[in-house]
Amino acid sequence: MAGWLRSHPARAARLAQVLPALARFALRRAGRGDLKSALIQAALGGESRAQLDAWTAQFVPRLLKRGLRADALTTLARHRRAGDTLVLLSASVDLYVPAIGRALGFAEVVCSEVQWDGNRLVGTLTTPNRRGAEKARCLAALRERYPGVAIVAYGNAASDLEHLRLAERAVLVNGTRRARRAAARLNLACVTWR
């Protein structure tokens, strides 16, 4: 979103529309999904699918070139060689996460989804924000779809611990000190990827 706003500076003035949602979030009267919806609506709302698809086509290769750690790519390759089914589960939105999943060879992507009005982005979430308990629910649904398959899950935040603890093998990657302490209490592996 930051890159979109840099290339469309007039949209930045619309960020003031996020303040009421931010206040509700700060007062614990709204969740992260509400805040995410407000931000997407302010920054991207009304844009065409063609414009956003074109932006995604530029954004994803740049992200993959400079935003992925070598250890992540090595781990993905190891799972692919083992014949594992790769599923990308993310709280981020379907404006770009499916493109990341395709570029990295994931068989399936589960992420937060946004609303469209025809070919114009509305920006409200049409699914729950795929974070915390919702991510755990998604992992449980995947388990039902792939019965008998051992699940190896990765996460990078304390909010990921809910779904990590449901996996046969779970790894917290580059977590904060707080997340690592919580993971250790749950006997979950913690690693640093470079």
What value does the mean pLDDT take over residues 124-129? 98
pLDDT tier for residue 153 given thresholds of 50, 70 and 90: very high
Q: Please give the pLDDT value at position 121.
A: 98
Host H or E run for residue 171? strand 169-173
pTM equals 0.92
What value does the mean pLDDT take over residues 136-164? 96
Q: Which residues contact 68 (CB under 8 A, 6 or more apart)?
A: none
CA distance 35 to 24: 9
Q: Please give the pLDDT value at position 67.
A: 85
Q: Please give the pLDDT value at position 25.
A: 96
CA distance 80 to 93: 24
175: left (phi over 0), alpha (psi -120 to 50) or beta: beta
Q: Please give the pLDDT value at position 8.
A: 92
